[in-house]
Chains A and B, each alone.
Chain A
Amino acid sequence: MSTIPLDYETLRLIWWLLLGVLLIGFAIMGGRDLGVGTLLPFAARTDAERRVLLNVVGPTWEGNQVWLIVGGGVIFAAFPPLYAVSFSGFYLAMIVILLALILRPVGFKYRSKIKDDRWRATWDTVLFIGGFVPSLIFGVAVGNVLLGAPFHVDGTMRAFYTGNFFMLLTPFALLCGLVSLGMIGTQGAAVIAGRTTGPLAERARTYGSLAGIVTILLFALAGVWIAFGIDGYAITSTVDGNAAINPLGKSVELTRGGWLANYGLYPWMIAGPVLGFAGLAGAVIGLQARLRLASLLASSVAITGIVATAGLSLFPFLLPSSTVPEASLTLWDASSSHLTLFIMLLVTVFFLPIILLYTAFVFRVMRGTVSTQSLEKNPNAY
Chain B
Amino acid sequence: MIDMTVVELSRWQFAATAMYHFIFVPLTIGLSVMMAIMESVYVMTGRDVWRKATLFWGTLFGVNFAMGVATGVVMEFQFGMNWSYYSHYVGDVFGAPLAIEGLMAFFLEASFIGLFFFGWDRLSKVGHLAVTWLVALGANFSALWILIANGWMQNPVGSKFNPDTMRMEVTDFVAVLFNPVAQAKFVHTVSAGYVCGAVFIFAISCLFLVRGKHVELAKRSMVVAASFGLASALSVVVLGDESGYIATEHQKMKIAAMEASYHTEPAPAPWTIFAIPGPDGGAPSFSIQVPWVGGLITTRSLNEELPGIDELVEHAQTRIRSGMVAYDALQDIRADGSNAEARAAFDEHWADLGYGLLLKRYREDVGNATDAEIAQAAADTVPGVWPLFWTFRIMMGLGFFFIGFFALWFYRASRGWLETNKPLLWFSVFLLPLPWIAIESGWFIAEFGRQPWVVEGVLPTFYAASGLSFWDLVISLSFFVTLYSVLLVIMIMLMVKIIKAGPQDKLFAEDEGDDADFVVAALPATPANKELGS
Binding site for B on A (CB under 8 A): 32, 48, 58-63, 65-66, 68-70, 72-78, 80-81, 83-88, 91-92, 94-95, 98-99, 101-106, 108-110, 113-115, 155-161, 191, 194-195, 244-246, 292-293, 296-297, 336-337, 339-340, 343-344, 347-348, 351-352, 355, 358-359, 362-363, 365-369, 372-381
A/B interface sample: 29 pairs, CB < 8 A: A48-B517, A63-B113, A66-B107, A70-B102, A74-B99, A76-B94, A77-B98, A77-B99, A91-B472, A92-B475, A95-B476, A110-B491, A156-B166, A158-B88, A244-B164, A244-B165, A246-B164, A336-B96, A337-B170, A339-B173, A347-B96, A347-B104, A362-B115, A366-B122, A368-B528, A372-B518, A377-B507, A380-B58, A381-B118
Segment from B65-73, B290-298, B313-321, B420-428 that makes contact with A: B65-73
CB distance from A243 to the nearest CB of B (A): 9
The answer to whether B533 touches A293, judged by C-beta atoms less than 8 angstroms apart, is yes
The answer to whether B507 touches A113, judged by C-beta atoms less than 8 angstroms apart, is no
The answer to whether A76 touches B483, judged by C-beta atoms less than 8 angstroms apart, is no
**Known contacts A62-B113, A92-B472; A157/B166 CB under 8 A:** yes
The answer to whether A66 touches B104, judged by C-beta atoms less than 8 angstroms apart, is no
Q: Which 7 A-B pairs have the closest CB atoms?
A: A80-B91, A368-B527, A87-B80, A77-B95, A59-B114, A63-B111, A73-B99
CB distance from A129 to the nearest CB of B (A): 13
The answer to whether B66 touches A108, judged by C-beta atoms less than 8 angstroms apart, is yes
Least CB separation from B479: chain A residue: A95
* Contact residues in A for B517 (Cβ distance below 8 Å): 48
The answer to whether B88 touches A76, judged by C-beta atoms less than 8 angstroms apart, is no
The answer to whether B77 touches A72, judged by C-beta atoms less than 8 angstroms apart, is yes
The answer to whether B71 touches A102, judged by C-beta atoms less than 8 angstroms apart, is yes
CB distance from A96 to the nearest CB of B (A): 10
The answer to whether B114 touches A362, judged by C-beta atoms less than 8 angstroms apart, is yes
Interface string of B476-490 (1 = CB under 8 A from A): 100100010001001
* Contact residues in B for A358 (Cβ distance below 8 Å): 108, 111-112
In the bound complex, CA of A33 to CA of B472 (Å): 30
- Please tell me if B334 contacts chain A, counting CB pairs below 8 Å: yes
CB distance from B459 to the nearest CB of A (A): 12
* Contact residues in B for A340 (Cβ distance below 8 Å): 92-93, 95-96, 169-170, 173
**Known contacts A336-B95, A367-B529; A91/B468 CB under 8 A:** yes
* Contact residues in B for A244 (Cβ distance below 8 Å): 162, 164-165
The answer to whether A367 touches B527, judged by C-beta atoms less than 8 angstroms apart, is yes
The answer to whether B63 touches A110, judged by C-beta atoms less than 8 angstroms apart, is yes
**Known contacts A76-B87, A158-B88, A378-B117; A359/B81 CB under 8 A:** no
CB distance from A346 to the nearest CB of B (A): 10
**Known contacts A69-B106, A88-B468, A195-B534; A377/B511 CB under 8 A:** yes
The answer to whether B529 touches A101, judged by C-beta atoms less than 8 angstroms apart, is no
The answer to whether A113 touches B494, judged by C-beta atoms less than 8 angstroms apart, is yes
The answer to whether B472 touches A99, judged by C-beta atoms less than 8 angstroms apart, is no
The prevalent SS among residues of A at the interface is: helix
* Contact residues in B for A373 (Cβ distance below 8 Å): 518-521
The answer to whether B73 touches A76, judged by C-beta atoms less than 8 angstroms apart, is no
The answer to whether A83 touches B95, judged by C-beta atoms less than 8 angstroms apart, is yes
**Which residues between 157 and 172 of chain B lie within 8 Å of chain A, taking CB atoms?**
162, 164-167, 169-171
- Please tell me if B344 contacts chain A, counting CB pairs below 8 Å: no
**Known contacts A66-B102, A296-B534; A80/B92 CB under 8 A:** yes
In the bound complex, CA of A191 to CA of B531 (Å): 13
CB distance from B343 to the nearest CB of A (A): 14
The answer to whether B171 touches A363, judged by C-beta atoms less than 8 angstroms apart, is no
Least CB separation from A335: chain B residue: B92
CB distance from B435 to the nearest CB of A (A): 23
Which one of B58, B104, B115 contacts A59 once the chains associate, using CB atoms below 8 Å? B115
**Which residues between 496 and 534 of chain B lie within 8 Å of chain A, taking CB atoms?**
497-498, 504, 506-507, 511, 515-524, 527-534
Which one of A59, A87, A293 contacts B118 once the chains associate, using CB atoms below 8 Å? A59
CB distance from A160 to the nearest CB of B (A): 5
CB distance from A181 to the nearest CB of B (A): 21
- Please tell me if B367 contacts chain A, counting CB pairs below 8 Å: no
Give the contact-size bracket for chain B. Answer: 35 or more
The answer to whether B77 touches A87, judged by C-beta atoms less than 8 angstroms apart, is yes
* Contact residues in A for B65 (Cβ distance below 8 Å): 109
The answer to whether A115 touches B515, judged by C-beta atoms less than 8 angstroms apart, is yes
Which one of A74, A158, A379 contacts B504 once the chains associate, using CB atoms below 8 Å? A379
Least CB separation from A119: chain B residue: B490
- Please tell me if B120 contacts chain A, counting CB pairs below 8 Å: yes
The answer to whether A367 touches B532, judged by C-beta atoms less than 8 angstroms apart, is yes
- Please tell me if B387 contacts chain A, counting CB pairs below 8 Å: no
Least CB separation from B118: chain A residue: A59
Least CB separation from A381: chain B residue: B118
**Known contacts A76-B87, A339-B170; A94/B487 CB under 8 A:** no
* Contact residues in B for A68 (Cβ distance below 8 Å): 73
- Please tell me if B221 contacts chain A, counting CB pairs below 8 Å: no
In the bound complex, CA of A347 to CA of B95 (Å): 13
The answer to whether B95 touches A365, judged by C-beta atoms less than 8 angstroms apart, is no
Least CB separation from A160: chain B residue: B467
The answer to whether A378 touches B118, judged by C-beta atoms less than 8 angstroms apart, is yes
The answer to whether B106 touches A66, judged by C-beta atoms less than 8 angstroms apart, is yes
The answer to whether B99 touches A59, judged by C-beta atoms less than 8 angstroms apart, is no
Which one of A74, A88, A378 contacts B466 once the chains associate, using CB atoms below 8 Å? A88
The answer to whether A347 touches B165, judged by C-beta atoms less than 8 angstroms apart, is no
CB distance from A54 to the nearest CB of B (A): 12
In the bound complex, CA of A83 to CA of B86 (Å): 11
B74, B79, B519 interface centre (most CB from chain A within 10 Å): B79
If A59-B115, A355-B111 are given as contacts, then 20 extra A-B residue pairs at C-beta distance below 8 Å, sorted by A number, are A59-B119, A69-B72, A70-B99, A70-B107, A73-B95, A73-B99, A76-B98, A77-B96, A83-B95, A84-B88, A84-B466, A88-B82, A109-B65, A292-B532, A337-B162, A355-B103, A362-B111, A369-B527, A369-B528, A377-B520
The answer to whether A352 touches B103, judged by C-beta atoms less than 8 angstroms apart, is yes
CB distance from A189 to the nearest CB of B (A): 13
In the bound complex, CA of A78 to CA of B103 (Å): 14
- Please tell me if B175 contacts chain A, counting CB pairs below 8 Å: no
CB distance from B429 to the nearest CB of A (A): 23
**Known contacts A366-B122, A372-B518; A76/B95 CB under 8 A:** yes
In the bound complex, CA of A76 to CA of B85 (Å): 12
* Contact residues in B for A339 (Cβ distance below 8 Å): 169-171, 173
The answer to whether B63 touches A246, judged by C-beta atoms less than 8 angstroms apart, is no
The answer to whether A245 touches B165, judged by C-beta atoms less than 8 angstroms apart, is yes
* Contact residues in A for B376 (Cβ distance below 8 Å): none
**Known contacts A58-B118, A69-B106; A102/B92 CB under 8 A:** no
The answer to whether B523 touches A377, judged by C-beta atoms less than 8 angstroms apart, is yes
Least CB separation from A158: chain B residue: B85
* Contact residues in B for A381 (Cβ distance below 8 Å): 117-118
The answer to whether B119 touches A365, judged by C-beta atoms less than 8 angstroms apart, is yes
CB distance from B457 to the nearest CB of A (A): 19
In the bound complex, CA of A366 to CA of B531 (Å): 13
**Known contacts A293-B532, A358-B108, A380-B58; A95/B115 CB under 8 A:** no
- Please tell me if B276 contacts chain A, counting CB pairs below 8 Å: no
The answer to whether A336 touches B112, judged by C-beta atoms less than 8 angstroms apart, is no
In the bound complex, CA of A61 to CA of B118 (Å): 12
In the bound complex, CA of A118 to CA of B384 (Å): 48
* Contact residues in B for A83 (Cβ distance below 8 Å): 79-80, 87, 91, 95
Which one of A109, A156, A351, A368 contacts B62 once the chains associate, using CB atoms below 8 Å? A109
CB distance from A82 to the nearest CB of B (A): 9
In the bound complex, CA of A48 to CA of B518 (Å): 8
